Structure 1
Amino acid sequence: YGVVPQSIFPESYSSSYSNKMDKLITKRLREFSLALRALVSGLQEQLQDARVLAAARKQKEIYLAEIYRILCITLGVPPKPTDQFTFEYYDADGKFDSYCGTPLEFYKKYGNEKYSLSDSFSLVNDPRNSYETLFTVDKLNNVWGGRPVLYVNTSSEELKKAVVTSIKAGHPVFFGCDVGQFSHSALGIMDTALYEYESAFNIKVTLTKAQRLQTGESSMTHAMVITAVHLDKEGKPVRYRVENSWGLVGDKGYFVMSDNWFDEFVYQVVIPRKLAKPEHVKILDAGSPRLYAPWDPMGTLA
């Protein structure tokens, strides 16, 4: 599809505050799924399977057109991959410059050379299952015929090492977490010490990360980007700077995430192969992933 500078396709209200848009789309998709099942059920006794499938696919296109229309109204009509645009800017030295090209050309020139998406993969921390193993989630991939979503399961410590390595190399890190746990949006803080339940109620919350996953208390609910890390004198991470997508909440859109919060509520990080541990790349390339059920909490993001 390509990419463009933000000024060419700027944020809308719904791109920064997507909750209502998400709920509307989900509601319509559920309605459409029931309607398609009813259509297929009603035609199966009258038509051959091939004609039933053709009728269902024709109706699906009508439904997808409505979803596209909703997204265009809420997010804006996206630029086409081959549309020409002109981007005027000042470079790092303060010199004026401009770029003219298409979204695909822009990605090939500026995006892919620095951060190749096809050469990146996910490390996850799922303490319910064995570390240094490969798994996938049934029906997680949303692109028919696309590259399967594969996860290398390892310890939280290994995820943090990968983050530090990537940040030092100048690569921001996409990560998946349970954002609603021990977090304060207005303050932009994610820290396990944020709320003192023990002082207020004389109780101690003792669920482990594995137990939270087992009981449905926690799962991956949101993706953000780690853009910086604060290290102590021994080189260990203390806290992380996180860029969110919720408008200006927090500190102008940025949050601070403590190292303890990372251990408890971060589940996934995406890193380039060239910066990953050779052992993890070897696990990825070996294939034969274990298959998780579609409803597994590891399958709630991407």
Structure 2
Amino acid sequence: MNSFESVTPEDIGRASQSFFSDRANVVAKNAVTAKGVRAVARVPERAAQNTTVFDVEVKAGGRTDQKRSGRCWMFASLNTMRMRTIERFGLKDFELSQAYPLFWDKLEKSNWFFENIIDTVDQPVSGRLVSFLLTDPVSDGGQWDMFKALVKKYGVVPKEAMPESASSSNTRDLDGYLTRFLRATAHRLRSSYEAGADVAELRVAKKDAMAKVYAMLVTCLGEPPARFDVRLRDKDDKLALAGSFTPQEFYQQAVGLNLDDYVSLISAPTADKPFGRTYTVSRLGNVVEAGGVRYLNLPPEALKQAAIRQLKAGLPVWFGCDVDQSFIQEEGIMDLDALAIDQLFGFEVMGGFDKAARLDYGESLMTHAMVLEGVNLSEEGRPTLWKVENSWGKDHAKDGFDTLADTWFDEYVYQVVVDRAHLEPADAEAFDSIEPIVLEPWDPMGALAR
């Protein structure tokens, strides 16, 4: 290995002299140390172009708030579903329980983790795969296919049937103690294998551990209802739906969405992911019998057109993105030109690599899921600005919604979930017929679940 070179006092002196000889640097220093980078880099003219009026818009219910949890993918999924209930029964507003799928997701992820630990007992704990499995075994994150698996198995319930708790609104302690228990159990399973136990014996131990996981979840979140009573009133205060339901019965009666009609499209232009092919991420999932995830990789324009067709059909669109990039959070603006970062520092910071390189070099990945509920179109019918339903409460940004510039979509939107009816016929065929390429567990297209 070549010898490393240290930073010398002469290097520091030259850098300091160069910096303070430029008046703009001094002004930038004074402003940023007082107000912060984004506040100073904000471009007011660009921020002023964000509108609250959209050509195509799906009317949503009241804004939801995931609070101090990483349940954005659940909130986005439930927000797309509840709109069907609102429209079907003419309700003023309606919210599905987010604590309910959280409970079952933690339970299923625990089982998924144990099964993966048992499957890798002969691999070194210091190896990359086992180390990765141990890093964050039961995070709040997830993917659309994982949510679909939960709904198919457990249904949904109104928020009143399983309201928020302290541990669902702030999952830090629940995640921390559950993760500790899972890692300790993994240690016991691997130690038993080293002592001569076979897989059948490990699964007996796993069953005992899963009973303890269930007990911890009930302690923190309460027990999910097996049956509950419902009385929904419409805008005129007339009874629109009443009765006793299981979660599966309520889903069919109140939501009625055919989950298998909805498919995940991604747009990742890296060399290992040719467009037109399907992909899955190794060891990514929650419900064992449902399998993992499945994506079709297409150029951004294909994702946009499918989303526009679904919005025009009166339905919102679930999407995944890298939310913090070029984002003015207080105003809810996602726009490549809203922050003049390069001008502030005086050299290229935001440039230097394209979308593919950002993925390859760890600069970008999916971090947040939200809902597209509107779009503005040019005279030629091309999208210019998107309306986004977030899950950070009504006090966030513009009454709880954000705006997303179409150029930002190109760079930082990585996934949309749409009804297959809105796909081009060739894309729908490709999604169904092509055997998926298996990506590594740590691939950025699986990051939303972490």
Please indicate, yes or no, whether the TM-score normalized by the shorter chain is above 0.5: yes
Of 368, 383, 388, which aligns to 1:242? 388
Q: Does 1:97 align with 2:244?
A: no
Corresponding residue for residue 39 of structure 1: 192
User: In the aligned structure 2, how far is the partner of 1:161 from the partner of 1:13?
Assistant: 41
Provide closer, same or farther for how the CA distance between residues 164 and 143 of structure 1 changes in structure 2, counting only shifts above 3 A: same
Provide closer, same or farther for how the CA distance between residues 282 and 98 of structure 1 changes in structure 2, counting only shifts above 3 A: closer
Provide closer, same or farther for how the CA distance between residues 185 and 41 of structure 1 changes in structure 2, counting only shifts above 3 A: farther
Q: Give the deviation of 1:284 after TM superposition.
A: 1.2
* Equivalent runs, 1:125-136 vs 2, <5 Å: 125-128=267-270, 129-136=273-280
Provide closer, same or farther for how the CA distance between residues 87 and 95 of structure 1 changes in structure 2, counting only shifts above 3 A: closer
Q: Give the deviation of 1:65 after TM superposition.
A: 3.8
User: In the aligned structure 2, how far is the partner of 1:67 from the partner of 1:292?
Assistant: 29
Provide closer, same or farther for how the CA distance between residues 208 and 66 of structure 1 changes in structure 2, counting only shifts above 3 A: farther
Q: Give the deviation of 1:127 after TM superposition.
A: 0.3
DSSP 3-state at the match of 2:302: helix
User: In the aligned structure 1, how far is the partner of 2:301 from the partner of 2:334?
Assistant: 18
Corresponding residue for residue 68 of structure 2: none
Of 43, 56, 68, which aligns to 2:202? 56
Provide closer, same or farther for how the CA distance between residues 160 and 18 of structure 1 changes in structure 2, counting only shifts above 3 A: farther
Q: Does 1:216 align with 2:362?
A: yes
Q: Compute the RMSD of aligned alpha carbons.
A: 2.5
Q: Give the deviation of 1:280 after TM superposition.
A: 1.0
Q: Does 1:288 align with 2:430?
A: no
Of 238, 251, 254, which aligns to 2:401? 254
Contact 2:277 2:297 in 1 (8 A): yes
Provide closer, same or farther for how the CA distance between residues 238 and 98 of structure 1 changes in structure 2, counting only shifts above 3 A: same
User: In the aligned structure 2, how far is the partner of 1:226 from the partner of 1:24?
Assistant: 35
Contact 1:212 1:218 in 2 (8 A): yes
Mean CA deviation greater in 184-193 or 254-263: 184-193
Provide closer, same or farther for how the CA distance between residues 227 and 65 of structure 1 changes in structure 2, counting only shifts above 3 A: farther
Mean CA deviation greater in 122-131 or 171-180: 171-180
Q: Give the deviation of 1:268 after TM superposition.
A: 0.8
Contact 2:283 2:292 in 1 (8 A): no
- 1:55-109 alpha-carbon deviations (Å, 9 max, x no partner): 43233334334444444455443222xx031223224x55443421312222112
Contact 2:275 2:297 in 1 (8 A): yes
DSSP 3-state at the match of 2:442: coil
Matched AA of 2:264: S
Would you say how many aligned residue pairs link Structure 1 and Structure 2?
290
Uncovered stretches (5+) of structure 1, i.e. residues with no partner: none
Provide closer, same or farther for how the CA distance between residues 74 and 178 of structure 1 changes in structure 2, counting only shifts above 3 A: farther
- 1:2-35 alpha-carbon deviations (Å, 9 max, x no partner): 1223333334455455456545544543343333
Q: Does 1:146 align with 2:306?
A: no
Of 404, 421, 433, which aligns to 1:274? 421
Which of the pair has more CA radius of gyration?
A: 2
Uncovered stretches (5+) of structure 2, i.e. residues with no partner: 1-153
Q: Give the deviation of 1:271 after TM superposition.
A: 0.9
Provide closer, same or farther for how the CA distance between residues 21 and 257 of structure 1 changes in structure 2, counting only shifts above 3 A: farther
Contact 1:173 1:227 in 2 (8 A): yes
Q: Does 1:8 align with 2:165?
A: no
Q: Percent identity?
A: 39
Matched AA of 2:189: L
Relative to its length, the structure with more strand (as a share) is 1
Q: Give the deviation of 1:194 after TM superposition.
A: 3.3
DSSP 3-state at the match of 2:186: helix
Contact 1:17 1:246 in 2 (8 A): no
Corresponding residue for residue 230 of structure 2: 86
Contact 1:173 1:270 in 2 (8 A): yes
Corresponding residue for residue 262 of structure 2: 120
* Equivalent runs, 1:134-213 vs 2, <5 Å: 134-204=278-348, 205-206=350-351, 207-213=353-359
Corresponding residue for residue 372 of structure 2: 226
Matched AA of 1:41: E
Q: Give the deviation of 1:173 after TM superposition.
A: 1.2
User: In the aligned structure 2, how far is the partner of 1:21 from the partner of 1:203?
Assistant: 44
DSSP 3-state at the match of 1:274: helix
User: In the aligned structure 2, how far is the partner of 1:7 from the partner of 1:243?
Assistant: 22
Provide closer, same or farther for how the CA distance between residues 259 and 14 of structure 1 changes in structure 2, counting only shifts above 3 A: farther
Relative to its length, the structure with more helix (as a share) is 2
Matched AA of 1:7: E
Provide closer, same or farther for how the CA distance between residues 232 and 27 of structure 1 changes in structure 2, counting only shifts above 3 A: farther
- 1:182-240 alpha-carbon deviations (Å, 9 max, x no partner): 22443323222232211210122222110111011111122222222222333222222
